[in-house]
């Protein structure tokens, strides 16, 4: 079997992994900045603002950020590609500008429902101004992904965006120390990054022209179900914060955001290795190479499971050091149980792999819509039921149930219709051994008062866990030719590598 497709996914995954690691660390520092230097109420208002534009961008994008991935990756005619991109950009700009105007006209409604009474209205206006840039930024990411341009995707989405956000926000908070300063930093970052992204598209061949013989109806027909389905992670990640703000307070939103920020570290490897899987599946189907897809998927989920398991054990057994980073106003006893519950849902979401994107590669956007819509409806219902009764833990339980139902439906669908087993038994055995090993070591290790010492401990446990995982895979025959090919290719690309041939 040709390993090139699997190796491409692995190489792109490693590149995106580095970028995603930097991105997540920068976003982590951004939230750490807000949590430590603003009051919980002020930080909560910023979190609500970010949640608001994430949810509004779902409507503005109309699923085109995912639909373009399929149409761009499977289209060889550059003029038709340019037409798809141009029409999508025009649509997103028009809709997002309309949403901005709507938000300004009904600002009292937004302020009354979502924000505390002492919130500066300028926070709302700054986030509304960021909406058109944010939606366009997401669309640019879809274009780069469809072109399988992992280098520019990393530059724009994983480096420029989070680093400028951190730099601008840190400078503004240092001088002004208000929620408005964080909101203005967000606007500056997203506008500059989006303009640079447009420039990169132009530099790499996109020209804003429209061909009237292109099948735009099919593009919108495919993308329409993705309004919900491609944005389910956004909805599951941000709807609960909006509802916490509605039923509780912005201060509680800030506490929940700390838990979500820590638990979201589990999504690092899924984002990285899933980056190229969707366009690769579309490309394989277009080229009549569907038999390659099953191995592509199983290899991808094995890598995700291998790298995610140690982090999962740390969040379940010993999350205290990460909570301490955010300051004394965030209590371990309140946040640790929420992290543990969220970690279960995000771990399951990570290790079954990008199953929804695999289904999109097969062209089943409407099935994905049904499954994702079911999980979102369940999530909203449980949030409304549980947040007033058990607070933040209720929001976490609602999120876990949403992830569980969504991934169960998609994984069963892939198995029944395409014969794809999302996670192999060998990978599950490897993960179970790694988790037990890590959990035992973390549990029996003494408490270390030094932050450096605690980080050294969890890093050491992670390294030993990964080595054990490799041994278990070798013992059970889980190391494949694709793994060896990827390792050889990576070593060959290392700087300073000597070629003796």
So what's the pLDDT on residue 71?
A: 87
End-to-end CA distance of the chain: 26
CA distance to 70, 87, 263, 269, 430, per residue, from 466 (Å): 35, 46, 20, 14, 10
Count Cα atoms within 13 angstroms, Cβ side, for 196: 16
Q: What is the mean pLDDT of residues 119-139?
A: 96
Compute how many other C-beta atoms are within 10 angstroms of the C-beta atom of residue 389. Answer: 8
Cα(411)–Cα(422) distance, integer angstroms: 6
CB atoms within 10 A of CB 57: 25
| 8 A C-beta contact, residue 314 and residue 466 | no
Alpha-carbon span 62 to 225, nearest angstrom: 8
Question: Is residue 252 within 8 Å of 391, Cβ to Cβ?
Answer: yes
Q: How far is CA 350 from CA 270, 301, 308, 344, 346, in A?
A: 5, 8, 8, 10, 6
Which position has the higher pLDDT, 35 or 498? 35
Is the pLDDT at 161 greater than 60? The verdict is yes
> What is the largest distance, in Å, between two alpha-carbon atoms of the chain?
71
Q: Which of 25-29, 174-178, 198-202, 229-233 has the lowest mean pLDDT?
A: 229-233
Give the lowest-confidence range in 231-240, 373-382, 426-435, 474-483: 231-240
Predicted local distance difference test score (pLDDT) of residue 13: 52
Q: What is the DSSP string of 99-127?
A: HHHHHHHTHHHHHHHHS-TTS-HHHHHHH
Q: 174-214 pLDDT, tens per residue? A: 888 899 999 999 999 999 999 999 999 999 889 998 888 78
C-alpha–C-alpha distance, residues 159 and 397, integer Å = 32
Residue listed under structure tokens 């499971």: 305
- Tally helices (H) and strands (E) across the chain: 24, 0
Which pTM value belongs to this model?
A: 0.76
């Amino acid at each position: 079997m040709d390993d090139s497709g699997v190796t491409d996914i692995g190489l792109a995954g490693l590149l995106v992994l580095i970028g995603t690691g930097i991105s997540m660390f920068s976003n982590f520092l951004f939230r750490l900045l807000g949590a430590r230097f603003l009051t919980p109420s002020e930080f909560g208002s910023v979190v609500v603002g970010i949640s608001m534009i994430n949810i509004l961008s779902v409507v503005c994008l109309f699923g085109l950020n995912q639909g373009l991935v399929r149409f761009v990756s499977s289209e060889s005619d550059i003029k038709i590609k340019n037409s798809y991109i141009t029409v999508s950009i025009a649509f997103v700009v028009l809709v997002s500008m309309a949403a901005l105007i709507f938000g300004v006209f009904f600002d009292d409604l937004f302020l009354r429902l979502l924000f505390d009474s002492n919130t500066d209205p300028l926070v709302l206006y700054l986030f509304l101004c960021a909406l058109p840039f944010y939606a366009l930024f997401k669309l640019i990411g879809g274009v780069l992904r469809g072109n399988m341009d992992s280098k520019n995707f990393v530059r724009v989405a994983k480096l420029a965006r989070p680093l400028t956000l951190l730099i601008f926000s840190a400078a503004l908070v240092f001088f002004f120390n208000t929620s408005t300063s964080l909101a203005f930093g967000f606007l500056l970052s997203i506008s500059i990054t989006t303009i640079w992204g447009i420039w990169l598209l132009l530099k790499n061949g996109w020209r804003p022209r429209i061909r009237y013989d292109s099948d735009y109806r099919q593009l919108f027909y495919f993308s329409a179900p993705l309004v919900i389905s491609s944005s389910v992670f956004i909805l599951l990640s941000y709807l609960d914060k909006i509802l916490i703000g509605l039923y509780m307070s912005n201060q509680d939103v800030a506490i929940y955001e700390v838990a979500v920020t820590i638990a979201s570290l589990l999504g690092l490897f899924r984002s990285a290795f899933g980056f190229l899987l969707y366009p690769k599946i579309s490309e394989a189907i277009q080229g009549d190479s569907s038999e390659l897809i099953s191995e592509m998927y199983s290899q991808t989920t094995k890598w995700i499971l291998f790298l995610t398991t140690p982090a999962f054990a740390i969040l379940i057994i010993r999350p205290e050091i990460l909570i301490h980073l955010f300051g004394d106003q965030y209590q371990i006893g309140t946040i640790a149980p929420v992290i543990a519950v969220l970690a279960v849902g995000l771990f399951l979401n990570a290790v079954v792999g990008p199953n929804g994107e695999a289904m999109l590669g097969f062209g089943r956007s409407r099935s994905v819509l049904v499954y994702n819509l079911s999980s979102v409806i369940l999530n909203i219902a449980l949030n409304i039921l549980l947040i007033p009764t058990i607070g933040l833990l209720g929001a976490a339980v609602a999120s876990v149930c949403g992830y569980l139902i969504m991934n169960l439906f998609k994984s069963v669908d892939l198995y029944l219709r395409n014969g794809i087993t999302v996670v192999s038994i060998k990978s599950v055995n490897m993960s179970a051994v790694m988790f037990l090993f890590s959990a035992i070591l973390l549990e029996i290790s003494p408490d270390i008062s030094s932050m450096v010492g605690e980080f050294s401990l969890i890093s050491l446990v992670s390294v030993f866990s990964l080595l054990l995982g490799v041994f278990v895979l070798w013992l059970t025959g889980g190391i494949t030719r694709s793994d060896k090919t990827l390792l050889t290719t990576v070593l060959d690309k290392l700087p300073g590598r000597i070629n003796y041939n």
